[in-house]
A and B are shown apart, each in its own frame.
Chain A
């Protein structure tokens, strides 16, 4: 009888310990005992009724190890290279089977893997590249959403960097231009705004390695695909950039200004004509791009100054006890216009940027007028109250004098 993966359990129930586990757990060689122990602790496959034989073959009920691994049992031993992909795919690419356990899960991982750099290298016979078990583990496999899984969103960078930060391991690989494959991707990523968002601000939707490179089909985005990849999250920026003159010129689109792994927090300083601005790396004084950069940066700075001025007026009026709720909301709207201008800037056309900025300036002008009116009203109230206070104190003095005169009269 052949004990193989096709003898998969029909329902999700934890598999009972097999003779394989009983024997392996007692082995003094850790290489033989650890897989059995890990599998027995927490493994998503075991929890759903799968056992050793589903991947390794063999007879799980046979206590004699020679008989258990006899060729007639379909024993495969430890899968390696392409066999790992085949073993995992025998279930994960089987839609009928997967529907019983995870109906929503995709079944194209093996096909995707074949298109990846890892898959291409493996097909060429390079067995050092990552296969399924390199990222997911072999025994003790956890669901992707399990925080302890090596492919959980917060652990992906660590998992990828196990190989990609290993200079010794990566020195055999080259980029298409023949230069050495860098190993500083993780170090750079950890300085990026994406890493900050994910790790420090707990935004699990922020991108990590697989969001740009893909996971099963992992490969660097092609030169022409960068804007599309960034645009999966930064949709509006990508739309603006697509209609810009730069989209035709920039070989690496977004990466030209924002870099790739070490994407810093964007700032207005990146735009403009001063030394710190990125525009001047290509544009020189007098050309159209130089003028456009100067105009857009100047407009943005003008709106920023106007917002700061309005904020100061609103704060002063609020501190004086005036209700500035609607003005505070309008200030947020002016801030939105500033953000919109920064977005619009990615089309690198000063006209639409200026239109947005003018809307923002109109809002701040209105806030200033209302703020000044509130401060004037406050001044009026204070004057009124001060006069009343004076009148009250006059009455107090008059009463005091009257009381004294009464006292004298009594005496």
Chain B
């Protein structure tokens, strides 16, 4: 019976061709191979987000009057609702952490060099999208901390020259953070960003499949010198490795949900005093803390505006790294690029910790 079904499908979908392709596909194996799995973990966590997000959608109500109560209902009344919300919240944070790890491992292994520039660009865009998911999702429970953090966060957009005021109103759906902002963020979180993500992920995975795994320049150099780079079968060896790391991520998620349940806090009240310790999610803390430290005016220009423009330039630099680092394409190491990357990592870690304790 099974054979008949497979034969029927084979006639229509060329499954035997796919099976042959998978059986023949190999992945390079070297001492940096472990970093390959970071992308897989990120993808797995994205899957967790999609699944848990869809479940939350069944009960969540996106309005200022009902959002908080609906999340309260999910965590207190819905069977395993507490688990789904905990997993969604923790997985979101782990996803962004792993996206950063994946990005920096790719950066330091120079995997962005020709011909993989587009893979890098789609990856960087995906990281920005993931941060957008985090920013928009943070407001959805409509609690006090999220409300005021969103007020501060959207207010920062106002520092962008020329279009700042428009951006603030566009993000907020008005001059202030209101129920209109919540509805807007909800639409962005569950429709616009997922649509863009689907396209970018598709292109990203297609390019990886098409171009194969990149090997670090040092390994490539040995290959060019005639040394044979060990390969391992994609299936089952690499897939099993991937699955093992997914299970590790799942274990971390379960442990976090077990020991550190995600708090709901108090319902947002626009007329309440701003609570102490208002700060954005950890992945925006470094930027937030930097903006706090920048003097109000530098050379007659607004400090916050300069800071925001600086971050935009940094983001553009990150996006265009494959075209800036010309040496990498030739297989030669660039000390400036490596030093810049190390400084960026140190800056992000130090300012995130500083921002956490300073707030």
Interfacial residues, chain A to chain B (CB-CB below 8 A): 320-323, 325, 381-382, 385-386, 388-389, 392-393, 395-396, 399-400, 402-403, 406-407, 410
Give the complex CA separation of A389 and B257 in angstroms: 11
CB interface residues, B 240-291, toward A, < 8 Å: 240-241, 243-244, 247-248, 250-251, 254-255, 257-258, 261-264
Given A321-B261, A392-B254, residue A403 in contact with residue B240 (CB < 8 A): yes
Q: Are A321 and B263 in contact (CB under 8 A)?
A: yes
Check if B237 is an interface residue, CB within 8 A of chain A: yes
Among B72, B237, B255, B263, contact of A389 (Cβ-Cβ < 8 Å): B255
Give the complex CA separation of A99 and B246 in angstroms: 83
Question: What are 9 A-B pairs with beta-carbon distances under 8 A?
Answer: A321-B82, A321-B261, A323-B82, A385-B257, A389-B254, A389-B258, A396-B247, A396-B251, A406-B236
Give the complex CA separation of A99 and B76 in angstroms: 62
Interfacial residues, chain B to chain A (CB-CB below 8 A): 72, 75-76, 82-83, 86, 232-233, 236-237, 240-241, 243-244, 247-248, 250-251, 254-255, 257-258, 261-264
Residue in B closest to A388 when the chains form the complex, CB atoms: B254
Q: Are A399 and B72 in contact (CB under 8 A)?
A: no
Give the complex CA separation of A388 and B236 in angstroms: 25
- Specify which chain A residues have a CB less than 8 angstroms from the CB of B76 in the assembled complex: 322-323, 325
Among A320, A388, A410, contact of B261 (Cβ-Cβ < 8 Å): A320
Given A385-B257, A392-B247, A392-B250, residue A323 in contact with residue B240 (CB < 8 A): no
Q: Are B251 and A399 in contact (CB under 8 A)?
A: no
Given A320-B261, A403-B237, residue A396 in contact with residue B244 (CB < 8 A): yes
How many residue pairs bridge A and B at CB < 8 Å?
55
Q: Are B258 and A325 in contact (CB under 8 A)?
A: no
Q: Are B240 and A382 in contact (CB under 8 A)?
A: no
Give the complex CA separation of A407 and B230 in angstroms: 12
What's the nearest-Cβ distance from chain B to residue A325, in Å? 6
Residue in A closest to B254 when the chains form the complex, CB atoms: A389
Residue in B closest to A374 when the chains form the complex, CB atoms: B76
Residue in A closest to B238 when the chains form the complex, CB atoms: A403
What's the nearest-Cβ distance from chain A to residue B297, in Å? 35
Given A323-B72, A325-B72, residue A400 in contact with residue B237 (CB < 8 A): no
Among A321, A393, A399, contact of B243 (Cβ-Cβ < 8 Å): A399
Give the complex CA separation of A322 and B82 in angstroms: 9
- Specify which chain B residues have a CB less than 8 angstroms from the CB of A385 in the assembled complex: 83, 254, 257-258
What's the nearest-Cβ distance from chain B to residue A261, in Å? 33
Among A323, A382, A386, A395, contact of B247 (Cβ-Cβ < 8 Å): A395
Q: Are A399 and B240 in contact (CB under 8 A)?
A: yes
Contacts A325-B72, A407-B237 known; 5 new A-B pairs at CB < 8 A:
A323-B264, A395-B247, A399-B247, A402-B240, A406-B240
- Specify which chain A residues have a CB less than 8 angstroms from the CB of B248 in the assembled complex: 396
Give the complex CA separation of A381 and B258 in angstroms: 8
What's the nearest-Cβ distance from chain B to residue A85, in Å? 47
Q: Are A382 and B258 in contact (CB under 8 A)?
A: yes
What's the nearest-Cβ distance from chain A to residue B232, in Å? 7
- Specify which chain A residues have a CB less than 8 angstroms from the CB of B237 in the assembled complex: 403, 406-407, 410
